[in-house]
Structure 1
Amino acid sequence: MDSSSSVPLQNVTPTSVGSRRRLGLSALLAVAVGLVVSQGVMVLMLQGVGIAGMGFVIPLTLAWLLALSYACSFSELALMIPRAGSLSSYTEVAIGQFPAILATFSGYVVVAMFALSAELLLMEFIIDKVYPHAMPPLSVALGVLCLFTVLNLFNIDIFSRLQTVLALVMTVMLLVMGLGAVTSEGAGSISTLVATSGWNPLGLGVIALTAMAVWGFVGAEFVCPLVEETRRPERNIPASMMIGLTVIFVIICLYCLGALLTVPQAELASNGLPHYLFATTVFGEAGQVFLVSAAITATCSTLNSSLAAIPRMLLGMARSGQAFGVFKLRGKRSGAPWVAVLFVAAVTGLPLLLMHDNPDAINLLLLAAALAWLLAYIITHINVIALRRRYPNAHRPFRTPFYPLPQLFGIAGMLFAIWHVSPSPEMTVPIFASAGVVLGIVSLIAVVWVKCVMRKPLFKPEPLAAVPGTSSEKINKQGDLQ
């Protein structure tokens, strides 16, 4: 999950947001780049380079290009419908209520269920590795989850004002690990590495690791809900995502290269905590303190972000009739959507309780989350195509270059990544079963909800002119509303 998405949502009101455009390119870059603090990224990238060696740069490049494609789609949608909402705001006017509900739950609630649990488990395992048996099992993970649940119930956000600093610090940490490894005395040479194992030992099969590589580039779209607070959004929204994703690509490449030159490739592929192995190999005992600090900071920031943002997505959906009305309940003094906060905390804690004694569950949770997020991105691309067809003359401050090629590339590439989401045959069934069961339940509830509660067709789009934040005069009524 993106850790920098923790904007001060608790203090945002429609009036203040509409009247104060205070976020520039640097602030949005902090949001877009902040996803590198995720421990899940640290783990999956190192395991990927352990499997593929130098050839991992191929899926990394494909994942970066796929990320740029979703950045184009989100930029076009966010600036065409400039409201502080979530993916459901775009999807309901593009392809209907059912996909709007499915996209939001798939891309955010289900991802939180899997990815936040993985982050908390990683933090638990790292602390136990450095300080073995110092605390009872799950005490740290559940304690942190309870702490930030309570803080968000009282609308206390201790990270929102520090996000730019956190994003910068964690980015520097990854750079330090990569550069420190490449320049260390114990580092091997690239020529020796290539001579020993080949440049790309997997051949064309390396492309199947694209789904694993994609996890390093998800979450940059969290800049889009900030569109109402952004100065020159038509420039800064797309620029922040595209520059941020490119910075991330360079950092991850350096990070992976450093690990490959200092740690045996087979150990990177098989170790459940390869970032711990990497840090201690390069920095010794100091690496333990370094990694524990990074793990706690990253996990707390990511968790706080999600407990601030996702409940407010559920609040907005409830107000639109797309979710249970109970999610509209807010604390009288704090204003926090307390039912939604408790719901997100509960779905995060459930996998913790079920999988806490299984280190291999980390990969399962992260790849199941990647599958769900990719589904949401596919729906995003479809949204752009649908709105281009239905409203060809609507005002679009940002238009996707070379449309529809980025959307078609994104859909095809993400379908391929979903099909090959498992890095090994034995993990295929558990990954698809975990994600499939949860998404199946969500889909069933969404169908019943749209048909029986909302009493609307599943795939009938809402009128664009009826969306708050979209002025009717920007729509060509003679041809676009047919």
Structure 2
Amino acid sequence: MSASVSVPAHGQAEAGGFRRVLGLGALLSVAIGLVVSQGVMVLMLQGAGFSGLGFIVPLGLAYLLALSYACSFSELSLMIPRAGGLSSYTEVALGHFPAILATFSGYVVVAMFALSAELLLLDLIVGKIYPGVFPPFSIAFGVLGLFTILNLMGIDIFAKLQTALAVVMVFVLLLLGIAAIVEGAPSDTASTVIQGDWNPMGAGVLTLTALAVWGFVGAEFVCPLVEETKRPERNIPRSMMIGLTVIFLTIGLYCLGALFMVPQEALTTDALPHYLFATKVFGKAGELFLVIASVTATFSTLNSSLASIPRMLYGMAQNGQAFPIFKRLSPRARTPWVSVLFVSAITGLPILVLGQDAASVNLLLLAAALAWLLAYIIVHLDVIALRRRYPAIARPFKTPFYPLPQLFGIAGMLYAIWYASPSPDMTGKIFGIAGVVLGLVSVIALVWIKVVMRKDLFRPEALEGTH
């Protein structure tokens, strides 16, 4: 017999825990703000450069795959409403080893690379537009320090800032895309795109799915905020579904505008194609426009990550899967301050190692996408396993047409992993980076579970409230 796992009511806060202050608007800004980054701005233009109008095929497939993971995360986060996110779900579905592997490889380590790449792109853009004005890395580390402090001050400050950033960022990208479509429609470049072969890659365009998926990863970062969310049973699923739809429309217009204004070859060969795009549309004023877009995108991504990932570590520490020090909350703001400082530190490290190398950005982002896809496969398996183990337990959100979204998500993400690289010469490097990261995390997880936790690797924990 199973007892239900209750979701705390609107406005409540557990004793000694988090405060419930986040509504649909704040969560929607997290879902959009984490996903739409400078890395996305670059990779989406490269995908459009490779395949022209045919990029709508992998983009649409990636959108459907994203909706599938949104369904799985919604079901799990409301069934198990804890800040730990994926680790909390996986430990009761598949065991501690998959839980640690999924969370660290898919979020902590990946975010380290992705956030570093994001800050590196910001440094490169500012350095290109204002050469010699700022010392190397001063922008990257200044922004990292600022948002670390802001996230230490409390989740309500984060929410107000995140909403403003997300609105500005989406407006800027939509304006850029629409302005380019209107201005570029009469041009020879647009005529070539419209009258030529709409999909020159043929069936091969599906190999760009992994690249397109990067445009939709991260909406589930709202889930670790479940303990700070008002009416989570309503706002968690809606924020992801609406956010992903807004992102799909925004990216579609953004890429179409670029194809109307910039030759496809230039989109694939230029290290900063979004700079090329903005200056092509707005001339010299496009530099200022791009600074605004880049700053808001980077600020938004960094802000969302520094809010969500520390709460994953907090939840893992509560479950015994990470150092106990990550459980510490600041007395007044109730933020996991040790976890915030840790995520900030690992974000800054690759910037020092990589230097200002634009070529490494794509490599890091695609390797990160591969590891993130693995985490999404695990979350689909979690839903299937828990449906079998606890069929009668209360689920405030149930995946429509179960198990079709989960099976579609697993198959699609395996396909995307297999074709993770848009070019053969990058394949070995991408799988090499991802393999090293996953191997290292696996070894650490194995030692931690066996030596520190003294538990079996694949034995699921009992779900709290059941017997």
Letter in 2 for 1:192: T
Displacement of 1:399 in angstroms is: 1.6
Residue 223, structure 1, aligned to residue 216, structure 2: no
**Is 2:97 aligned against 1:91?**
no
> Does structure 1 retain, via aligned residues, the 8 Å contact 2:165–2:299?
no
Gap change, CA 1:324 and 1:200, over 3 Å in 2: same
1:9 match: none
Structure-to-structure mapping, 1:371-410, within 5 angstroms:
371-410=370-409
DSSP-derived class of the 1:14 partner: coil
Question: How far did 1:374 drift?
Answer: 0.8
Q: CA contact under 8 A between 2:77 and 2:85: conserved in structure 1?
A: no
Note the alpha carbon deviations across 1:163-195, whole angstroms, 9 max, x for none.
222211111111101100000157537553243
Question: Hey, what does 1:195 align to over in structure 2?
Answer: 195
Q: Residues of 1 paired with 2:186 and 2:436: CA distance?
A: 44
Alpha-carbon distance, 1:313 to partner: 2.0
Q: Could you tell me whether the CA contact under 8 Å between 1:36 and 1:171 is conserved in 2?
A: no
**Which stretch shifts more, 400-409 or 33-42?**
33-42
Which residue of structure 2 lines up, in the alignment, with residue 261 of structure 1?
A: 260
1:178 aligns with 2:177: yes
Range with greater deviation from structure 2 (28-37 or 421-430):
28-37
Assess, with a 3 A threshold, how the Cα gap between structure 1 residues 400 and 347 changes in structure 2: closer, same or farther: same
**How far is 1:312 from its partner?**
2.8
* Map of 1:278 onto structure 2: 277
1:64 matched to 2:101? The reply is no
Report the 3-state secondary structure (helix = DSSP H, G, I; strand = E; otherwise coil) of the residue aligned with 1:318.
Answer: helix
In the alignment, the residues of structure 1 paired with residue 22 and residue 364 of structure 2 have an alpha-carbon distance, to the nearest angstrom, of: 37
Judging changes above 3 Å, is the alpha-carbon distance between structure 1 residues 399 and 149 closer, same or farther for their aligned structure 2 residues? closer
- Provide Cα deviations, 1:322-355, integer angstroms capped at 9, x if missing partner: 0123434556777654443333223212221222
Q: Hey, what does 2:129 align to over in structure 1?
A: 130
TM-score by length of 1: 0.88
Q: CA RMSD in A?
A: 2.5
In structure 1, distance between residues paired with 2:96 and 2:342:
22
Aligned residue for 1:251, secondary structure, equals helix
State the partner residue of 1:101: 100
The residue aligned with 1:247 is: 246
Matches within 5 A, 1:29-44: 29-44=28-43
Contact in 1 for aligned 2:225/2:311 (Cα 8 Å): no
State how far apart, in whole Å, the 1-side matches of 2:194 and 2:185 are.
17
SS of residue paired to 2:396: coil
Q: What displacement does 1:448 show?
A: 0.7
Using the TM superposition, give the Cα deviation of residue 45 of structure 1 relative to its aligned residue in structure 2, in angstroms: 0.3
Distance 1:263 1:407, change over 3 A: same
Question: Quick one: distance in 2 between partners of 1:253 and 1:195?
Answer: 19
Distance 2:321 2:155 in 1: 27
**Structure 1 residue 456, shift from structure 2 partner:** 0.6
Q: How far apart are residue 66 of structure 1 and its match?
A: 0.3
**Counterpart in the other structure of 2:9:** none
Taking a change above 3 Å as real, the CA distance of residues 280 and 19 of structure 1, as seen in their structure-2 partners, is closer
Identity of aligned residues (%): 68
Please say if residues 88 and 100 of structure 1, whose CA atoms lie closer than 8 Å, have aligned partners that are also in contact: yes
- Using the TM superposition, give the Cα deviation of residue 137 of structure 1 relative to its aligned residue in structure 2, in angstroms: 2.1
Q: Are the structure 2 counterparts of residues 307 and 19 from structure 1 closer, same or farther at C-alpha, using a change threshold of 3 Å?
A: closer
Contact (CA 8 Å) 1:159, 1:301: kept in 2 or not? no
Shift of the 246–441 alpha-carbon distance from structure 1 to 2, 3 Å rule, reads same
Residue 199 of structure 1 deviates from its aligned partner by: 0.8
**Gapped runs of 5+ residues in structure 1?**
1-11, 473-480
Is structure 2 residue 306 aligned with structure 1 residue 307? yes
Q: What is the distance in 1 between the residues matched to 2:13 and 2:439?
A: 35
For the pair 1:370 / 2:369, whether they are aligned, the reply is: yes
Contact 2:166 2:296 in 1 (8 A): no
Q: Do 1:42 and 1:275's aligned partners in 2 also have CA atoms closer than 8 Å?
A: yes
1:145 equivalent in alignment to 2:144:
yes
**TM-score, with length taken from structure 2:** 0.91
CA contact (8 A) 2:190 2:259 kept: no
Partner AA of 1:171 in structure 2: V
- Counterpart residue number, 1:436: 435
Alpha-carbon shift at residue 363 of structure 1 (Å)? 0.2
What is the rounded CA distance, in whole Å, between the counterparts of 2:360 and 2:404 in structure 1? 37
Tell me, yes or no, if the aligned pair for 2:22 and 2:159 is still in contact at 8 Å.
no
Structure 1 residues 35 and 146, CA, compared in 2 at 3 Å: closer, same or farther?
A: closer
Would the aligned equivalents of 2:326 and 2:336 in 1 still touch at CA under 8 Å?
A: yes
Contact 2:105 2:371 in 1 (8 A): yes
Distance in 2 (CA, whole Å) between partners of 1:267 and 1:176 is 21
Q: How does 1:46-65 map to 2 (within 5 A)?
A: 46-65=45-64
The 1:324/1:89 distance shift into structure 2, 3 A limit, reads same
Partner residue of 1:14?
14
Q: How many equivalent pairs are there?
A: 456
Distance 2:175 2:384 in 1: 42
Q: Is the 8 A contact 1:17 1:229 kept in 2?
A: no
Three-state SS of the structure 1 residue aligned to 2:399 is: coil
Kept in 1: contact 2:46–2:267 (CA 8 A): yes
Corresponding residue for residue 451 of structure 1: 450
With over 3 angstroms needed to count, the CA separation of the structure-2 counterparts of 1:93 and 1:64, relative to structure 1, is same
- Does the aligned pair in 2 maintain the 1:157–1:304 contact within 8 Å? no
* In structure 1, C-alpha distance between the alignment counterparts of 2:229 and 2:353, rounded to whole Å: 41
Please give the per-residue CA displacement for 1:239-269, whole angstroms capped at 9, x wherever unaligned. 3222221121111111100000001110011
Alpha carbons of 1:53 and 1:149: their partners in 2 closer, same or farther (altered >3 Å)?
same
Write the mapping of 1:267-346 to structure 2, written as runs, cut at 5 A: 267-329=266-328, 337-346=336-345
Structure 2 residues without counterparts, runs of 5 or longer: 1-11
Distance 2:23 2:153 in 1: 26
Q: Report the CA distance shift for 1:358/1:28 in structure 2 as closer, same or farther (over 3 A).
A: closer
Give the CA deviation at 1:124.
Answer: 0.6
Q: What does residue 427 of structure 1 align with?
A: 426
1:400-448 C-alpha deviation (Å, 9 max, x unpaired):
1221111111011111111111111111122111121122111100011
CA shift, 1:27, in A, is: 3.8
Are the counterparts in 1 of residues 75 and 396 from structure 2 also a CA contact under 8 Å?
Answer: yes
